[in-house]
Structure 1
Amino acid sequence: MRYQNLLHEFLDNAPVLDSSLCKRAPLLSVSQLESILPNFKRKNGYLKLEAALRYVRDGAASPFEAQAAILFGFSCYKGGAGFSNFSLNRRIILSRRAKHMLQKNYVVADLLFEPNDGGVPVIVECQSKLIHDNKASYLAYADRALALETMGYHVVLLTYATMSSLKAWHSVVEHIRKKLNYSKPRQPQDFELRELDLRRNVLIDWKTLGF
């Protein structure tokens, strides 16, 4: 019963959730899941949960960001792009010049990729349809991208349409690899099938999950 009590304790202390999937605070953090995992060691599903935790990341603020993180972060053997050195919703303190441009002290990057020697850090901004339909929001993002470029970041604006197109997605992945000075990871012979299977399970309407 100890593992059940631990799980109930975490859930009881979780914040009240908004009805919108995009605004829900996480019930548990990765570190919390890792801390309670040993209590499930003799239970069915333990090995699957342990394996899944290797691919879980804190910080996604929307289903779009979570989907992008999965496609970027899963290994090639899981059908992903094989990136590992990135974080979600990282706060970036602005330089004096960038502060003047944006009239703020910091911004939060949707996905921030750390480069190898000789590369440049890459920020991927997940662009929703709402931003494209709203001229003021779109211009604000353009100013933000320019300010970050003055600080040495390379900014990639990723739309859901681009992520959904396999050809466009491959172009984005290769572009980011070059900017980061990453070599292309080794891929299994059946990578194309693995990639299609991952995308079929990830690029869905997440509001339907569990129903």
Structure 2
Amino acid sequence: MEPTICGASAFAWWRTPPLIRTLATRGWTDVPELGSSAEKALEAHVACVRELPFWRAVASVTGRPCEDASAYAVLNSSPSLSLCTDVPVDMLYTTRDNRRRAAVVHPHVWSRELPAGSLVKVHDALAVTSPAFTLLLIAATLSLPRLVMAVSELAGSFAVYEPPEPIRRLLEEMQARGELPDFGSWRPAFDRAGRLSDVWSRPALVTCDRLGALVESGSCRGVRGRGRLAEAVRLAVAGAASPFEVQTGMLLGWDEARGGEGYGGFSHNRRVALSDPARRLARRSCCYCDLYWEKQEGRDALDLECKSALHHNNETSYLSDADRAAALQLMDTEVVEATYGQLADERRFDALSHLVARKLAVSPPVRTAEFLAARRRLRKDVFIDWRALLAASPRA
């Protein structure tokens, strides 16, 4: 088996936009859309990454004999890995015998037969564990809520990645000039002032069905973390387009015993085809709903929109709030808008919960001491810096 990135390092790899990896490994000339304006940014970028802990660790072992193939692969791939993860890099070994200690490698042993499709080539001398296999390998290290959040990211249409400052400035300048390339279907999001956020949109990297098949496969029976991943797959709702949507869905959708409000049964980014009158209002044939509950007897459908200051490159494809809401109301769909502040403040969240309960024609959970304690535990896991999702996670 070729040297293989795994664990938290592989999760970080899958978060990194292909544009960034291409710039790091093959240079700016492989992305002709960038043009000559990238040259100064490249110089600043090189100076920046040379100060990262990754490069300092690499420099400490460069020139020494390197008997371990995984350590050699890490050193050889330093330009791209330095933009994805830190050292030591989590690397997969198939036996304990061929494992070597190295300053740049954190070894992980998988002595079983590898599941089908579990490795993805990076280049001839390096591979990375697949998104599904990566989630299995990190499952035992995360609390259940954070594992659900990790599943939701890879099974959603977003990634969270913070580039070095020179790269951030370059992308902001290109966005302002309308020159930012659409690279591998990954698109960064910007705030209203044109500042690059840490949220990138992209196609989903894995499905919950694929994860379910992995945990049920014979090669994974008895693996540590398998049961927790199976539970996370049952709880995760695929298709979210941002961390905010995942957080909203967990707080509103999880059952009361886990600290949620119990309003499950929704889908993320549900496509709603508009009727002719609704199309005339919205000037579109369809719209997408962040959290969508189907219409049931005695109540209309409900669309809960997670409002933020971010917008994407294709902002012109988004409907105005007024046109969108009117079109959905013509389709017997109630529209509720939620902000991050309403989620983060418990008193405001209680009011939002009562509003959603009324729209769904259900009763909110009784605020018992047991429920409030469970909700505090859930909120502690949910309200984190999403960039550090895998860092210092409490095990539960």
Question: What CA deviation, in whole Å up to 9, does each residue of 1:72-108 have, x standing for no partner?
Answer: 1211111111122110000000111110111110001
Read off the aligned partner of 1:27 and give its amino acid letter.
L
Q: Structure 1 residues 22, 195: closer, same or farther in 2, change over 3 A?
A: farther
Instruction: Report SS of the residue matched to 1:210.
Output: coil
Find the partner of 2:207 among 29, 53, 67: 29
Identity in percent: 30
Q: 1:7 aligns with which of 118, 131, 138?
A: 118
Counterpart of 1:140 (choices 305, 320, 329) is 320
Q: Is 2:310 aligned against 1:119?
A: no
Determine helix, strand or coil for the equivalent of 2:118: helix
Q: Structure 1: how far apart are the matches of 2:378 and 2:365?
A: 17
Counterpart contact for 1:115–1:182, Cα < 8 Å: no
Displacement of 1:189 in angstroms is 4.2
What is the rounded CA distance, in whole Å, between the counterparts of 2:260 and 2:270 in structure 1?
22
SS state at 2:290 partner: strand
- Give the paired residue count: 207
Matched, 1:38 2:157: no
| Equivalent in the alignment of 1:170 | 350
Aligned partner of 1:104 in structure 2 is 284
Structure 2 CA distance for aligned equivalents of residues 138 and 99 of structure 1: 14
Does structure 1 residue 181 correspond to structure 2 residue 361?
yes
Q: Which runs of 5+ in 2 are unaligned?
A: 1-111, 121-128, 133-153, 155-183, 189-197, 392-396
- The answer to whether the 8 A contact 1:55-1:73 is kept is no
What is the CA–CA distance in structure 2 between the aligned matches of 1:45 and 1:8, rounded to whole Å? 19
Q: How far apart are 1:188 and its partner, in Å?
A: 6.2
1:3, 1:36 within 8 Å by CA — same for their partners in 2?
A: no
CA contact (8 A) 2:271 2:288 kept: yes
How far residue 187 of structure 1 moved from its aligned partner, in angstroms, is 6.9
- Structure 2 equivalent of residue 71 of structure 1: 251
Q: Could you tell me whether the CA contact under 8 Å between 1:76 and 1:187 is conserved in 2? A: no
- Structure 1 CA distance for aligned equivalents of residues 270 and 362 of structure 2: 21
Contact 2:115 2:214 in 1 (8 A): no
Q: CA 1:4 to 1:17, structure 2 compared with 1: closer, same or farther past 3 Å?
A: farther
For the structure 1 residues 12 and 168, does the alpha-carbon distance in structure 2 shift closer, same or farther, using more than 3 Å as the test?
closer
Cα distance, 1:27 vs structure 2: 2.5
| Alpha-carbon distance in 2 for matches of 1:28, 1:12 | 6
- Counterpart contact for 2:289–2:304, Cα < 8 Å: yes
Q: Note the C-alpha offset of 1:6.
A: 3.6
Q: 1:12 to 1:115 in 2, by over 3 A?
A: closer
The structure 1 segments of at least 4 consecutive aligned residues displaced by more than 6 Å after TM superposition are: 136-139
The structure with the larger Rg is 2
CA drift at 1:185? 4.8
Q: Distance in 1 between matches of 2:118 and 2:367?
A: 38
**Which whole-Å CA distance do the structure 2 matches of 1:96 and 1:115 have between them?**
19
Alpha-carbon offset, residue 23 of structure 1? 1.9
1:7–1:36 contact (8 Å) kept in structure 2: no
State the alpha-carbon separation in 2 of the partners of residues 190 and 22 from structure 1: 38
State the alpha-carbon separation in 2 of the partners of residues 65 and 169 from structure 1: 15
Moved more, 33-42 or 187-196: 187-196
SS in 2 for 1:69: helix
RMSD: 2.9
Letter in 2 for 1:180: L
Aligned position for 2:75: none
The alpha carbon displacement at 1:116 in A equals 4.2
**TM-score normalised by L of structure 2:** 0.47
Is contact 2:257–2:371 with CA below 8 Å preserved after alignment?
Answer: yes
**Unmatched segments (≥5 aa) in structure 1:** none
